[in-house]
Chain A
Amino acid sequence: TPAVAEPLGLGRPALPEEIAAWDTTVLPDGTGLPEGSGDVLTGEEVFAENCASCHGEFAEGLDSWPVLAGGNGSLTDPRPVKTIGSYWPHLSTVYDYVHRSMPFGQAQTLSVDDTYAITAFLLYSNGLVEDDFTLTRENFASIALPNATGFYADDRDQTEYPVFSVEPCMADCRSAPPEVTKRAVELNVTPKDEDGKPAGTLPPLTLAAETGAT
């Protein structure tokens, strides 16, 4: 750890009201949770009013908006469905993120109790509590999400760096000539210029090519 510089005396003390306004972060152990509560049925109403227009009445997601419930057991499927119930490790993240950054386009409009209620409703939508459940600051830490143990810290230094940190082949590396297995042009999903070339293609600098362009 490098030496820490001497203070310069810049800045001024943060006031408690200021810290309370900006530090709304909730940690996995529940640190940061405010006093409050909310039940599933209240959460269903608040969700219907504020969230369902994108995320669906049952948190199942409308159109291509994020799916908040479902997908359980899909994490080894060809196309996994990663939701709060199937993927997220901590309930703290649900409370914290909803309270601070949702609804999309109108963030920080939910009260503490609204956020507890929505969080309770999302637990219910994911089949994790009964419909009479009330979430409080006190029982918050007792809720474990299904994928709580589904993550591990970056292990590339064990599993990849030794494999890839060897002197590479420089000559006669292939046993057979290269064979094309995938072509992006077959998907044809890139934005295009008028002439059908990928958008932003460098303009031809020859008059012949210029004339040929539409």
Chain B
Amino acid sequence: MAPFAGIKELPPDPLFGLKARYNADSRTNKVDLGIGAYRDNNGKPWILPAVRQAEQKLINSPDYNHEYLSISGFAPFTESAAKVILGENSLAIKDKKIVSQQSLSGTGALHLAGVFIKEFYQGNHTIYLSQPTWANHKQIFEYIGFKVASYPYWNNDTKSLDLSGFLKAISSAPDGSVFLLHACAHNPTGLDPNQSQWDEILAALEKKKHFIIFDSAYQGFASGDLEKDAYPIRKAIDSKVITSPIIICQSFAKNVGMYGERVGAIHVIPSTVESNDSLNRAIKSQLNRIIRSELSNPPAYGSKIVATILNDPELYSQWRKDLVTMSSRIGEMRNTLRSKLESLGTPGTWNHITEQTGMFSFTGLTPQMVERLEKHHGIYLVSSGRASVAGLNEHNVDQVAKAIDEVVRHFGKSKL
């Protein structure tokens, strides 16, 4: 009798199943548009110059070691991470309305936020996710015990934001529900509300006293501008549009290229209108308790790199340039893909490719088209039609455009 013999095998994570199939594909012209990781114009992982310089500075520092961080993480990192997301002159920071902890990148921050809310939030324990949203969001929160609901976001017919559906969902949800919002560069659609739309969304959320979790995984990636990409967060907090609690889950995987080093932070703002030191200490101690029981303390190396960049004016300036480099290249690829599709006369409209922002394009291709792209053309997309634009480059964009043209015509023909 083997005690573990009864465990059922779970299906592979869809995104990583895709990666496994891509890796197993022996075609030389295969293209990976699956996982959202930045690539340069030669399709290679890119180490930001600011990161290289920060690592050199770190290595040359006489007090560099591998000592444990505190349970809350590396203080120079958490403090500067809060400044990046809320702004150098943030009132919430000055007034000490924010509790910050280092987390295991964005996923770790979301997990921590979920455990914390589940245990201590006295409002409604249903979490509303955008339809569609990042594949892992549902799993993260269901696993912790939340009831997961959704709100309309993407209008598939018009390939635009379903603002009225979104606002209606906010209004009809029970007061004090939890809403998970993508701060910018929505994953998987790449479509963000504009500023006036954000203002409407935030006003509706405040009216119902909902709890907001901002998932901020792409600050600097949407527009190349850190401030612009933090608009809804700063509006909600420093302009006090939102008076209910807010949690920000911040990741430096994409915008600093820290992916595998797992650098992130969770910021809890229990109230935007008043600060409460003893409450902040209570929150911090509970977050520490959760972290201590699951991972003890967070990984040091990546947080030291990011702290070095954020605290050194020259490196910070270099980082801003690196953000422009990445977001510009992605923007160019969006333009090129769209113009090639239009030149080919591919059926349908393709302006949404350039209207979307961030790393992803929600192409509108059907699952059958995506499957054919993979099988017939060696081009790997998520079955929802999400493509990582960062996987495109000058060497493969023509091939990708022609392949998309072929699959669109193929299934268009079969409808006749």
Q: Do A and B interact? A: no
